[in-house]
Amino acid sequence: MTTTAAEYAVAAWPDCAPRLLRPGQTGPQAYAEYTQEGGYRPLLDAEELLGQVDLSGLLGRGGAAFPIGTKLRTVHDAHRRGSDTVVVANGEEGEPASIKDRWLLRNRPHLVLDGLRLAVAVAGASRGYVYVSDPGAADAVTAALAEVPAETFGAAEIAVVTVEAGYVAGEETAAVRRINGGPAKPTDKPPRPFEEGVGGLPTMVSNVETLANLPFIHQHGAEQFRAVGTPMSPGTFLATVTGAGRPAALYEIPHGATVTDLLKLHGVSAEAVTGVLMGGYFAGLVNTDILDATLDHESIRRLGSGLGCGALSLLTDDCPVAVAASVMSYFDNENAGQCGSCFNGTAAMAAVTSALRDGTATEEDLTRLERWSVVLRGRGACGTLDGATNVAASLLRQFPQVVARHLAGNCESCRAGAFDAIRPYEVEARS
């Protein structure tokens, strides 16, 4: 299932002023307009901003939800010890079911650059990079950089680095490797980029949506940032919603909003939803228990899943076994081919889920799939294999009755033609 370029909408949450989105924005926001809104305001005290970022509780929006204050402070401390440092704004949105980063880069490039500027200043970095694969995003950021006065970034040099799109290309060590002149493929950890990254220097790699929150914190402070959201998941986040036979949409949602309210806004009946593919492809499947959840990290984690990059693909008529088979085949095709456990593991799990979809799997196949979903976790250099194990484990745990029907060869949903997509729930960027 692919959503074409003209088919996605951009909308704010009712009664919640958007901080990142500008519904109706078409094309890059101009420098003059952005500065009139308070953008690029002088940073008078980097230490104070770092303290505010810590207090804000801002979590990374790229998938791992790691506290940005901790990551920023680590590189900041390396600079104080005398090391040169680097900051990378990671906009390589390799997740096909997400559109948020490309939308920000194409339509609000100055917001992203302002966030990068603040991170560079706090980290004491001499270089900053915007790392992208989308040509439209690269063009918008390059044009925006040309609008910004040179002194805006202090002594730091800012560059745009492009890469061929790929699921693993956005992993932080893959980004560092590409910027260093190598292939965009992950490396073993340690060292992590904050220890040894671009040019061997301590490097902070942060998702562009995460950085885009820094100007708000700079302008309004941590308390105002936390005015929406939950204590453990403060602020808003960008959610790409696909599936259910509806055009895709990009929403800015306060953490803690209910899933049922999101469905209402998206025009989908809760009664029609049989499950959700969470966090893009990485966090796996959730059954109808998701209908009682709120959209924050703690609530979704209790279901054994995660918000990830904020992408939610709604299942209505799509059989979860067939969806899992398509996602698993995608992981098999997209793995970096560097780790034997991932190369062989994704292929094996893809074969079993495809056989299950087609009604040719055996009980022994399912036993192997269940074992692989446990023993293969954490074995790869990046998250691809973990994503595959998440999909396998969640399918078996969340949809045992559907799995049993497929094992018996009597799935009504698939009888008329099973869901099959090379890049399930893909959302293309507007030109």
Is residue 62 located within the same domain as residue 209? Answer: yes
**Does some domain include residue 264?**
no
> How far is CA 71 from its chain centroid?
17
Tokens of 80: 């104080």
Please check whether residue 184 lies inside any domain of the structure: yes
Reported as a pLDDT band with limits 50, 70 and 90, residue 2 is: very low
428 within some domain = no
SS3 239: strand
- 87, part of any domain: yes
- 203 shares its domain with 326: no
| pLDDT score for 3 | 47
Under DSSP, the state recorded for 293 is -
Residue 4: pLDDT above 70?
A: no
Give tens-digit pLDDT for 186-224. Answer: 998 899 999 999 999 999 999 999 999 999 999 999 999
- 332 & 190 share domain: no
Of the listed ranges 9-23, 92-106, 227-241, 410-424, the least confidently predicted one is 410-424
414: left (phi over 0), alpha (psi -120 to 50) or beta: alpha
346 within some domain: yes
Domain check: are 182 and 43 in the same one? yes
- Residues of the chain with pLDDT > 70, as a percent, come to 98
Does residue 361 carry a pLDDT above 60? yes
Domain that residue 27 falls in: 17-225
The string of pLDDT tens digits covering residues 28-85 is 999 999 999 999 999 999 999 999 999 999 999 998 899 999 999 999 999 999 999 9
In a domain, 153, yes or no: yes
pLDDT for 5 equals 40
Mean per-residue pLDDT of the chain: 95
Among the candidates 198, 225, 252, a domain finishes at 225
- Residue 26: its pLDDT value, please? 86
Q: What is the pLDDT of residue 7?
A: 65
Does residue 248 sit within a domain?
no
Indicate whether 344 and 221 sit together in one domain.
no
Same domain, 60 and 172: yes
Looking at the structure, tell me whether residues 215 and 330 fall in a common domain. no
One domain, residues 210 and 73: yes
Domain co-membership, 34 together with 146: yes
Number of domains in the chain: 2
CATH number at residue 393: 1.20.1440.230
Least confident of 62-66, 92-96, 247-251, 292-296: 62-66
- Distance from C-alpha of 414 to C-alpha of 391, rounded to nearest angstrom: 19
Residues 202 and 58 in one domain: yes
| pLDDT(6) > 60 | no
State how beta strands 2-3 and 426-427 pair.
parallel
Output the domain CATH number for residue 97: 3.40.50.11540
In a domain, 63, yes or no: yes
Instruction: Tell me if the pTM is above 0.75.
Output: yes
At residue 384's C-alpha, the angle toward residues 298 and 282, to 5°, is 35
Contact 308, 207 (CB under 8 A): no
**Identity of the residue numbered 325:** A
Q: How many CB atoms lie within 10 A of CB 180?
A: 12
Tell me: pLDDT of 130 over 60.
Answer: yes
